[in-house]
């Protein structure tokens, strides 16, 4: 089944010309309403008028996550706040987080995209959806929620955490669909097993998973544990949130990117050069319809490959392979995006620490764990009353990590000069 037959099955030439038309409109708009774009287009000596085709896009400069942070909080909005009805944000301390605004129409667009995803997964108004993506400033929870209501399904706004209660609701409410990160699904399966609940006997039929990398063997494991079909959902908050791309039931070899709303390019992450369609590279997204925060050539940092062969489902939109690699040092820990620089920013604000630290990421059962080792200063070490002081610092780090980044960390303070200065700041022991 296809939610928006007209747009999702458009012949490719029609999609391309719709993209060019919408691109020209959005370029005009951002050039005249967002100071950042005027400056960056002028610096690159390019005017909206110069862009007559998709191929011309390479004349336009990229926008990066750094630009989003530099314009924190609302510097990239292209509409007045009176037109903004929703704000979401990434984690991070002030100036190290990014803010995403939505107009009423943006919320409509986003709901429509999620509705497409759900219908691509065979979900109808007769389904009950257990939505365990995080609600709040994250885009996952509310993003899914509005799309689910749009198709008339019954939504359980579960959010993350509290596995026992999740399992109770799964048993008592009998949802037919579950949405969460793949690792959380595995965690629920483990908890279920410990509680003696047969997860296969639940009414669940299909699961929609995303927000972090996962591979085929994780898919098999989830499908086996719950007796469901597991599908991949992709999106990033900067662009709009989840619902930018979705796997269809018929294809199951990549996610259709909804090209009437986004242009996707593949670039060489080192040189920025545009690569031929089908090459592996970093995906770059341009929003065509977003009103509050249009993005022109946003470097996602996600490495993937586009699949242009026609799909059995009848959708004409290009597909992207599952994302397993990043072009930068962004870490996804329990579905939350974190940069080592954000952790460093927390540490430098705490007196008594050296800027030397090491982040160790691993899995405890199905869930990610984060261990942080930080060197203390010589002064703290030699002070009397040191132990108490050290405990205080440890507690403060744990609290700031939780408050600003939303992540539970195990923190260990170590003597000065114990962590090799040149050693890896991040050790990621997880395997995808
Ligand atoms: P989300 O709620 O989707 O995680 P964020 O904006 O917090 O939204 O994070 C976006 C990033 O999460 C993407 O750039 C990508 O690295 C990762 N991501 C999202 N969905 C997937 C997916 N299905 N597979 C792999 N990585 C994903
Ligand atoms: Zn398909």
Q: How far is the CA of 323 from the centre of ligand 1 (A)?
A: 9
**Residue 158 backbone dihedrals phi, psi, to 5 degrees:** -70, -40
- Mean pLDDT over 121-130 rounds to 98
Across 335-342, average pLDDT: 94
Residue 118 vs residue 95, higher pLDDT? 118
Report if residue 5 sits inside a domain: no
Distance, CA of 297 to CA of 423 (rounded, Å):
34
pLDDT at 52: 98
Q: Hey, whose CA ends up nearest to atom 3 of ligand 1?
A: 211
- Tell the residue nearest (CA) to atom 8 of ligand 1: 236
268 and 163 within one domain: yes
- Over residues 28-48, mean pLDDT: 98
- Same domain for 360 and 323: no
Ligand 1 lined by 179 (C-beta under 6 Å): no
Same domain, residue pair 322 and 344: no
Residues 370 and 225 in one domain: no
Q: Per-residue pLDDT averaged across 352-359, rounded?
A: 90
End-of-domain residue from the set 290, 307, 327: 327
- Please give, one letter per residue, the 3-state secondary structure of 74-90: CCCCCCCHHHEEEEEEC
| Segment (H or E) for 144 | helix 140-150
Mean pLDDT of the chain: 96
276 and 151 part of one domain: yes
Average pLDDT, integer, range 70-87: 97
CB-CB contact of 269 with 279 (8 Å)? no
Structure tokens at 76: 């990239």
The residue ranking higher by pLDDT, 383 or 426, is 426
CA distance 254 to 319: 6
Is the pLDDT at 422 greater than 90? The verdict is no
Q: How far is the CA of 336 from the centre of ligand 2 (A)?
A: 28
Q: What is the pLDDT of residue 385?
A: 65
Q: Whose CA is nearest to atom 14 of ligand 1?
A: 236
Separation CA 389–CA 426 (nearest Å): 26
pLDDT value of residue 384: 62
For residue 258, the ligand closest to its alpha carbon is: 2
Quick one: which atom of ligand 1 is closest to the CA of 210?
23
Count up the domains in the chain and report the number. 2
Instruction: Inform me whether the pLDDT recorded for 305 exceeds 70.
Output: yes
Question: Does residue 170 sit in the same domain as residue 208?
Answer: yes
Residue with tokens 């997204």: 285
- What's the pLDDT tens digit per position in 218-227? 999 999 999 9
- pLDDT score of 240 more than 90: yes
Residue span of the structural domain in which 364 resides: 336-428
pTM of the model: 0.96
Alpha helices by DSSP H, listed for 239-374, are 340-348
Q: What is the CATH number of the domain that holds 416?
A: 3.30.300.30
The mean pLDDT of 361-371, rounded to a whole number, is 95
CA nearest neighbour of 372 among 364, 382, 362, 381: 362
Pocket test for ligand 1, best of 212, 244, 320 (most atoms within 8 A of CB): 212
340 lies in the same domain as 217: no
Starting from the CA of residue 338, give the closest ligand.
Answer: 1
Could you tell me how many residues make up the chain? 432
Least confident of 114-123, 301-310, 409-418: 409-418
Q: Which residue's CA is the nearest one to ligand 1's atom 11?
A: 236
My answer on whether 342 and 197 are in the same domain is no
- Of the candidates 264, 355, 287, the one whose C-alpha atom is nearest the C-alpha of residue 29 is 287
What pairing do the DSSP bridges indicate for beta strands 426-428 and 229-236?
A: unpaired
> 396 is written with which tokens?
């403060």
Probe residue for ligand 1, chosen from 92, 240, 337, 342 as the CB with the greatest number of ligand atoms within 8 Å = 337
**Is residue 1 a part of any domain in this protein?**
no
Kindly state whether residues 284 and 345 are assigned to the same domain.
no
Q: Is the pLDDT of residue 16 over 80?
A: yes
Give Cα 30 to chain centroid, integer Å. 24
Bridge partners, residue 230, by sequence? 207
Residue 109 lies in a domain: yes
Any atom of ligand 1 within 6 Å of the Cβ of 142: no
Which structure tokens are listed for 79? 């509409």
Residue 120 contacts residue 248 (beta carbons within 8 Å): yes
Secondary structure E strands in 31-153: 84-89, 99-103, 128-131
The CB of 242 under 6 Å from ligand 1? The reply is yes
- Please identify, by atom number, the ligand 1 atom nearest to the C-alpha of residue 255: 23
The dihedral sign for the CA sequence 18, 20, 24, 30: positive
Give residue 235 CA to ligand 1 midpoint distance, Å: 5
From the CA of 231, the nearest ligand is 1
340 shares a domain with 280: no
Taking the CA of 88 as reference, the closest ligand is: 1
**Assigned domain for 43 exists:** no
Q: What percent of the chain has pLDDT over 90?
A: 92
**Residue 382 pLDDT > 80:** no
Decide if pLDDT at 39 tops 90. Answer: yes
Q: What is the gyration radius of the CA atoms in the chain, in angstroms?
A: 23
- Res 358 pLDDT > 80: yes
Q: Are residues 342 and 199 in the same domain?
A: no
Q: What is the pLDDT of residue 11?
A: 98
312 is a domain residue: yes
Q: Which of 238, 199, 253 is nearest to 221 (CA)?
A: 199
Alpha-carbon gap, residue 271 to 292, rounded angstroms: 30
Please identify, among 327, 344, 379, the residue that sits at the C-terminal boundary of a domain. 327
Kindly report each contact of residues 342-349 with a partner whose C-beta sits within 8 Å and lies 24 or more positions away, as own/partner: 342/91, 342/92, 342/93, 342/96, 342/404, 342/405, 343/372, 343/401, 343/405, 345/92, 345/93, 345/96, 346/93, 346/397, 346/400, 346/401, 346/404, 346/405, 347/374, 347/397, 349/93, 349/400
Residue 262's CATH number: 3.40.50.12780
pLDDT over 80 (residue 386): no
Q: Residue 28 falls within a domain, yes or no? A: no
Query: pLDDT band at residue 94, thresholds of 50, 70 and 90?
Result: confident
Q: Is the CB of 303 under 6 A from ligand 1?
A: no
Integer angstrom CA distances of residue 376 from 322, 353, 396, 426: 41, 4, 13, 18
Answer whether residue 112 is part of any domain.
yes
Considering only residues 96 and 120, tell me which one the structure prediction assigns the higher pLDDT.
120
Ligand 1 atom showing the smallest separation from residue 324 Cα: 25
Measured between alpha carbons, how far is 191 from 68 in angstroms, rounded to an integer? 39
**Does the residue 253 lie in any domain?**
yes
Statement to judge: residues 297 and 347 lie in one domain:
no
Domain boundary among 307, 327, 347: 327
């Amino acid at each position: 089944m296809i939610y928006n037959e007209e747009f999702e099955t458009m012949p490719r030439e029609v999609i391309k010309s719709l993209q060019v038309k919408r691109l020209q409109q959005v370029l005009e708009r951002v050039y005249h309403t967002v100071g950042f774009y005027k400056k960056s287009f002028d610096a690159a000596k390019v005017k909206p008028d110069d862009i007559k085709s998709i191929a011309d896009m390479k004349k336009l400069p990229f926008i990066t996550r750094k630009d989003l942070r530099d314009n924190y909080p609302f510097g990239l909005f292209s509409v007045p706040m009176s037109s903004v009805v929703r704000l979401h944000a990434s984690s991070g301390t002030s100036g190290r987080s990014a803010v995403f605004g939505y107009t009423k129409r943006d919320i409509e667009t986003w709901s429509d995209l999620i509705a497409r995803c759900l219908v691509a997964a065979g979900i109808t108004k007769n389904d009950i959806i257990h939505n365990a993506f995080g609600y709040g400033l994250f885009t996952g929870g509310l993003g899914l929620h509005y799309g689910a209501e749009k198709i008339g399904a019954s939504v359980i706004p579960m959010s993350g955490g509290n596995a026992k209660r999740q399992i109770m609701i799964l048993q008592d409410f009998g949802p037919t669909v579950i949405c969460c990160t793949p690792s959380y699904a595995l965690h629920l399966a483990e908890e279920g097993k410990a509680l003696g609940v047969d997860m296969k006997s639940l009414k669940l039929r299909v699961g929609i998973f995303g927000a972090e990398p996962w591979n085929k063997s994780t898919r098999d494991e989830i499908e086996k544990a719950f007796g469901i079909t597991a599908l991949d959902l992709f999106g990033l908050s900067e662009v709009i949130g989840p619902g930018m791309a979705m796997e269809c039931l018929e294809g199951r070899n990549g996610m259709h990117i909804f090209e009437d709303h986004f242009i996707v390019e593949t670039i060489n992450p080192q040189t920025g050069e545009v690569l031929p369609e089908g090459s592996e590279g970093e995906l770059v997204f341009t929003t065509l319809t977003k009103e509050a925060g249009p993005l022109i050539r946003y470097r996602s940092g996600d490495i993937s490959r586009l699949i242009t062969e026609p799909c059995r489902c009848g959708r004409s939109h290009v597909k992207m392979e599952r994302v397993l690699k990043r072009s930068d040092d962004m870490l996804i820990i329990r579905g939350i995006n974190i940069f080592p620089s954000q952790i460093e920013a927390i540490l430098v604000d705490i007196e008594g620490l050296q800027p030397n630290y090491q982040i160790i990421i691993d899995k405890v059962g199905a869930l990610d764990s984060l261990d942080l080792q930080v060197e203390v200063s010589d002064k703290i070490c030699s002070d009397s009353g040191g132990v108490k002081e050290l405990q205080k610092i440890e507690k403060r780090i744990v609290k700031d990590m939780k408050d600003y980044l939303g992540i539970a960390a195990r923190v260990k303070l170590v003597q000065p000069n114990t962590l090799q200065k040149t050693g890896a700041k991040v050790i990621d022991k997880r395997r995808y």
